[in-house]
Structure 1
Amino acid sequence: MSTTNSKLRASILVVSETASQDASTDKCIPVLKGVFGHLGNDQWEVSETEIVPDNVLAIQKTIRNWTDGSDPLNLIVTSGGTGFATKDVTPEAVTPLIDRHAPGLVHGMLTISYAVTPFALMARPVAGLRKQTLILTLPGSPKGAKENLEAVLKLLPHACVQAAGAESRQLHVGGVKKLEKDAGVSSHGSATADGGSGQHHHRHHGHGHSHGHGGHAAVQPHTKPEDRPQSNDPSAGPTRRYRSSPYPMLAVEDALKLIAAQTPAPIAEKAPVSMNVVGSVLAEDVKAVESVPAFRASIVDGYAVKIPSSGKFQKGVYPVTIVSHAQAGEVQELKEGEIARITTGAPLPPGADAVVMVEDTVLKSQTDDGQEEKEIEILTDEIKANENVREVGSDVKEGETILKKGEGVTVVGGEFGLLASVGMRIVSVYRRPIVGVLSTGDEIIPHDREGPLRLGEVRDTNRPTLITAARSHKFDVIDLGIVSDKPGTLEHTLRDAMRKCDVIITTGGVSMGELDLLKPTIERSLGGTIHFGRVNMKPGKPTTFATVPVKDNSGTHVTKTIFSLPGNPASAVVCFHLFVLPALHQQAGIKPAGLARVKVVLDEDVRMDKGRPEYHRALVVTKGDGLMYASSTGGQRSSRIGSFRGANALLCMPKGEGSLKKGERVDALLMAGLTVSGIP
């Protein structure tokens, strides 16, 4: 084909089981189109795109359609299926189609990725020519695919023009320098996005080890690396660590907004209507599958009667021919001139029209054995049809919406009883996230280890305290144990935790020491994004919130959240209630999320911190005047877990000089129920 007076024609082939079933889940095609548009120097036209499952024949069929016709494409880039998963078959599909391999392009792509993460070597890219078409296999994640294509894109027009049949001697007039200039690349590096040297020593966001559609990366940042704060590089040693945090100090309100924006949406699942569903939030409206009551029932103890065809019931003596109790069973039909003894809640016999209260009757005769009523005199003729009868569906009609999406299922509020009464067996609820809790530090030992402490050892109070706190809010918790201050150990533990947990809580390792590895591990090894690393509050300034994109066991791209809390016990507990709990509630569909905020009256003077707003541990009680009163639990330093003894609230104290005085009002976040104090 001619390439002199027209653009080079490229195609994008995404290999993904998920995207082949739902194209809206694919993010690679728009990202790669953007690379062609932004870096292609107006030389490319993306004329074909296709999504196929991880199937060798499907991949090969599509590529042959694009290469073997009378008008072949110049370039095919595939995305996905280049990892080590059993379903990753893109290299096996593409390799047999290649006539001439291009190992230099493979080396270039791997070199760029390896500068970011050693896990780049876990990819299996293929590059080469089939007939007149150049084929490149890229990773499955949008970020990995983008980075690899950016690494070589400016070199590809030269290769494609040659493959299309252009004369090489003419193309190389002027030498390599002219080729580099025309392509917009430098002899010091590859064709990077900025056209510069290609050095990536500043790009520490990492790929992680999640393979996207089978590639080696899983993150797609939306900012330039140089515009983002970065954690310490542990490999640089303590002399190169930051002396002050590179992360901006956020206000608590801004931190909470970021958490709300980045927390994954609730996931709906089907759940049986059992006591285990109590505490869940409904993900769909619930419609009654049965009416309540399901039969016409008596609302009093008395006698069911049949209104005569004349429409007027006559008082008098009637034989008792039927007995109807509030229990399952067949009841015979009631005939005119007969009555049926009936209990409250029992079904009316067929043919009955109303119920006479037992108070409006007297016994006239009994059976020979004296055990049963034989005849009853009804003392009133004012009985009307349907009197004292609860009609079918008078409480709940079949098909009626009984509970709405977003409502919680409780026992106290009667929601569980309502579901049970209408025969619901399955409901759609939001799945509660599974929480993992770990402590970090070689100095941390289990709290229950026997024997005295050695110099430098600290008993682990944070992990059991946070596990208890999360479980008290009815979240399933996995104890992830204590992790050593070693980068590889921490990374392995976090990767394993993300396979089992939705939210991970860590304590320690988020300050400025050379062994504080949480931030570097999240950013550099896991390819995560740290949304904030410092908060303007006391206690809890180094609190860190991050998200990490991973693939779940079904291969679906999901986001896991990590809260790295300070190691000081009081700080960790405060930050759990302030930051983690709202995220857990949001992910479980619980509204409003987080602790209840109330106004309290100070029962004593409370000193303010002049540097930062403080979340002051306090005891809130009610008194006879109906107001809530707060008193401090004592010293508030961040290491003093004793300040939580008896605390049921956090006072939201502003920063300032001096104290807020007794009798002043302040906001408080309630962590537990209130107690009642004596009436003043």
Structure 2
Amino acid sequence: MSNVYSMIPVPQAQQIVLDHCWTLGSETIPSHEAVGRVLSVSVVAPDSLPPFPASIKDGYAVISSDGIGTYNVVGESRAGSMDSPNPAQGTVVYITTGAPVPLGFDAVVQVEDTEEVPSEKVEEEEGTMTSSDYKQAGRKNRRVRILKAASPGQDIRVVGSDILVGETVLRSGEVIGVAEIGILATVGATHVTVYKQPHVGVMSTGDEVVEPSTSPLGPGQIRDANRSMILAAAAKAGAKVTDLGIARDTEGHIQGCFDRAVSAGVDVLITSGGVSMGDRDLVKPLLERTGTIHFGRVLMKPGKPLTFATLSLPSAAPGEGGDPSSEPQRSMMVFGLPGNPVSSFACFYLTTLPALRKLMGWSNPMLRRVQVKLAQTLKMDPERPEYHRVALQWSKCPFLEGRAEHVGCDWWAVSTGNQISSRLLSARSANALLEVPQASGFLRQGTLVSAILIDDLQAMPDPDGLSLQ
């Protein structure tokens, strides 16, 4: 029989989880495979960018003190190639965007502030030359009129103006995104050192739970939504995942699934179901015998039976060679999520996802909070704070049209409907968990409330009842 655990608030549960996390070791991988990973070693630029004074525009490199006038074009500088003219008063060089500015020239005049002047030689021979001859002669004898005077340094990127040699361009602890991949390529970092990905095992429990492919369902059976959902969520978070299947409601079968997780070397085991107080809720008793349970109930709705434990294990997994008894110990984190799908969904985001982020090296692993206004009036629960699934919308609120509050746009939280913990449809289109405080009464429409972001706001849905304006 499981012990009766004190019910602790969510912030305390989150802190306990993070206190028992560690940051995994490092590995070096190709930079193009590093999106979503966290740097464990800072990246330093080996050279400056640009490595030479570079033109910002198409035009002419000039000696600024020459000013307005007509000048001979004595060369060309294009990206990847450059003539080496001797700079002299009264000469200019045609230059393209990004090309090096020849030594001795100190400004660039954009082509819009110039006009070409036919050379005398071309004009004299024009009647006797072919089109090809004309173009060749024009290239050799070009003259250009500078219409606007340039100031020293005009439209020139100086050496190192983007990146200086020795500059730290990405720091340890930064999450690598698409722009960061471009920065790595810019400084020639074809490989980067990042924190390792956590290995997550996921299993469901329950005699009533069957594979999603089962059809038709037998009496009392339900398809396993939790395992697919949590596997997908862990993979999206950047973890390596192992499907440990469905454990039946027997001590031996559940123990066997735990042993498979140990053999696979998982860092985090996530179970769903089997953590309440029924006579077939066998996950807590197993954790009590084999590990340390840090909490077994949380003051939240949904998700009260949420359980977190750690198991100390030999670092060498059985069957992989080596004597486990002689190996140093490692720890496996276990999250016992409730069996109801929405409870499992909410508990993963509130406690498990921050843990995975810390393992991957995130300096701030907690999910972001934003302040939003309620699009509907919500009833509060006097017994537990509720994490209400909502879709956030950036818009004016039509409910307040014509009133003083209807000014500009705000973030509006739109309930996803019936919040019963078995109704997974309430998580569909949800991109935030609204933190509804524990209290009697109602939160009125338009009230400012805290919300925890759980998904990308780029895919904001347009739910019925709130028209975007």
TM-score in terms of structure 1 length: 0.57
State the shift of 1:383 in Å. Answer: 5.8
1:571 aligns with 2:343: yes
1:531 aligns with 2:294: yes
Q: Identify if the C-alpha distance between structure 1 residues 326 and 332 changes in structure 2 by more than 3 Å, giving closer, same or farther.
A: closer
CA contact (8 A) 1:296 1:348 kept: yes
- Partner residue in 1 for 2:125: none
- The 5 Å alignment of 1:12-161 reads none
- Structure 1 window deviating more from structure 2 (371-380 vs 473-482): it is 371-380
C-alpha RMSD of the superposition: 2.9
- Partner residue in 2 for 1:608: 380
Given candidates 213, 218, 224, the residue that maps to 1:448 is 213
Higher strand share: 2
- Give 1 or 2 for the bigger CA radius of gyration: 1
- The 5 Å alignment of 1:278-427 reads 278-304=35-61, 316-320=70-74, 322-327=75-80, 329=81, 331-337=82-88, 339-349=92-102, 354-358=107-111, 359-365=113-119, 368-371=133-136, 372-380=138-146, 386-411=153-178, 414-427=179-192
State the shift of 1:579 in Å. Answer: 1.2
Deviations 1:216-262 (A, max 9, x none): xxxxxxxxxxxxxxxxxxxxxxxxx35xx422221212111101111
1:656 aligns with 2:439: yes
SS at 1:497 equivalent: helix
1: distance between equivalents of 2:450 and 2:154?
A: 56
SS at 1:621 equivalent: strand
2: distance between equivalents of 1:457 and 1:528?
A: 31
- Partner residue in 2 for 1:470: 234
CA contact (8 A) 2:117 2:145 kept: no
State the shift of 1:543 in Å. Answer: 0.7
SS at 1:370 equivalent: helix
State the shift of 1:580 in Å. Answer: 0.9
Q: Identify if the C-alpha distance between structure 1 residues 515 and 397 changes in structure 2 by more than 3 Å, giving closer, same or farther.
A: same
- Partner residue in 2 for 1:585: 357
2: distance between equivalents of 1:355 and 1:302?
A: 7
4+ residue stretches of structure 1 with deviation over 6 A?
311-314
The amino acid of 1:466's aligned partner reads I
Q: Identify if the C-alpha distance between structure 1 residues 383 and 662 changes in structure 2 by more than 3 Å, giving closer, same or farther.
A: closer
Given candidates 415, 422, 425, the residue that maps to 1:632 is 415
Deviations 1:568-598 (A, max 9, x none): 1111111111111111122223353233222
Deviations 1:595-631 (A, max 9, x none): 3222232232322223222222233323223322234
Given candidates 611, 622, 645, the residue that maps to 2:394 is 622
The amino acid of 1:418's aligned partner reads I
SS at 2:143 equivalent: strand
Given candidates 190, 204, 208, the residue that maps to 1:439 is 204
Q: Identify if the C-alpha distance between structure 1 residues 374 and 363 changes in structure 2 by more than 3 Å, giving closer, same or farther.
A: farther
- The 5 Å alignment of 1:484-499 reads 484-498=248-262, 499=264
Q: Identify if the C-alpha distance between structure 1 residues 633 and 305 changes in structure 2 by more than 3 Å, giving closer, same or farther.
A: closer
Q: Identify if the C-alpha distance between structure 1 residues 375 and 588 changes in structure 2 by more than 3 Å, giving closer, same or farther.
A: same
The amino acid of 2:4's aligned partner reads P
Q: Identify if the C-alpha distance between structure 1 residues 395 and 599 changes in structure 2 by more than 3 Å, giving closer, same or farther.
A: closer
1:550 aligns with 2:307: no
State the shift of 1:566 in Å. Answer: 0.7
1: distance between equivalents of 2:422 and 2:437?
A: 21
Q: Identify if the C-alpha distance between structure 1 residues 666 and 364 changes in structure 2 by more than 3 Å, giving closer, same or farther.
A: same
1: distance between equivalents of 2:372 and 2:151?
A: 58
Q: Identify if the C-alpha distance between structure 1 residues 486 and 347 changes in structure 2 by more than 3 Å, giving closer, same or farther.
A: same
CA contact (8 A) 1:483 1:489 kept: yes
Unaligned runs of 5+ in 1: 1-240
1: distance between equivalents of 2:283 and 2:151?
A: 78
Q: Identify if the C-alpha distance between structure 1 residues 596 and 306 changes in structure 2 by more than 3 Å, giving closer, same or farther.
A: closer
CA contact (8 A) 1:510 1:544 kept: yes
- Partner residue in 2 for 1:114: none
CA contact (8 A) 1:618 1:650 kept: yes
Deviations 1:363-412 (A, max 9, x none): 3336724255222334459566655432221211110122223322222x
CA contact (8 A) 1:510 1:565 kept: yes
Deviations 1:463-515 (A, max 9, x none): 11222223333433322222233333333322332434222211011122333
- Partner residue in 2 for 1:515: 280
- Partner residue in 2 for 1:666: 449
The amino acid of 2:13's aligned partner reads A
CA contact (8 A) 2:380 2:441 kept: yes
The amino acid of 1:634's aligned partner reads G
CA contact (8 A) 1:289 1:424 kept: no
The amino acid of 1:632's aligned partner reads S
1:480 aligns with 2:250: no
Q: Identify if the C-alpha distance between structure 1 residues 315 and 668 changes in structure 2 by more than 3 Å, giving closer, same or farther.
A: closer
SS at 2:425 equivalent: helix
2: distance between equivalents of 1:461 and 1:319?
A: 73
CA contact (8 A) 2:71 2:92 kept: no
1: distance between equivalents of 2:103 and 2:374?
A: 68
- Structure 1 window deviating more from structure 2 (591-600 vs 550-559): it is 550-559
Larger relative contact order, structure 1 or 2 (CA cutoff 8 Å, min sep 6)? 2
Deviations 1:111-167 (A, max 9, x none): xxxxxxxxxxxxxxxxxxxxxxxxxxxxxxxxxxxxxxxxxxxxxxxxxxxxxxxxx
SS at 1:563 equivalent: strand
2: distance between equivalents of 1:258 and 1:350?
A: 63
SS at 1:345 equivalent: coil
Deviations 1:194-223 (A, max 9, x none): xxxxxxxxxxxxxxxxxxxxxxxxxxxxxx
Q: Identify if the C-alpha distance between structure 1 residues 556 and 378 changes in structure 2 by more than 3 Å, giving closer, same or farther.
A: farther
The amino acid of 2:296's aligned partner reads G
Q: Identify if the C-alpha distance between structure 1 residues 509 and 305 changes in structure 2 by more than 3 Å, giving closer, same or farther.
A: same
2: distance between equivalents of 1:292 and 1:617?
A: 47
- Partner residue in 2 for 1:253: 11
SS at 2:27 equivalent: strand
- Structure 1 window deviating more from structure 2 (567-576 vs 467-476): it is 467-476
SS at 1:368 equivalent: helix
The amino acid of 2:141's aligned partner reads E
CA contact (8 A) 1:633 1:643 kept: yes
SS at 1:395 equivalent: coil
Deviations 1:72-113 (A, max 9, x none): xxxxxxxxxxxxxxxxxxxxxxxxxxxxxxxxxxxxxxxxxx
CA contact (8 A) 1:436 1:477 kept: yes
CA contact (8 A) 1:550 1:557 kept: yes
2: distance between equivalents of 1:269 and 1:441?
A: 38
SS at 1:260 equivalent: helix
CA contact (8 A) 1:608 1:653 kept: yes
The amino acid of 1:654's aligned partner reads P
- Partner residue in 2 for 1:540: 303
- Partner residue in 2 for 1:429: 194
SS at 2:164 equivalent: coil
Q: Identify if the C-alpha distance between structure 1 residues 383 and 606 changes in structure 2 by more than 3 Å, giving closer, same or farther.
A: closer
The amino acid of 1:375's aligned partner reads N
CA contact (8 A) 1:249 1:536 kept: yes
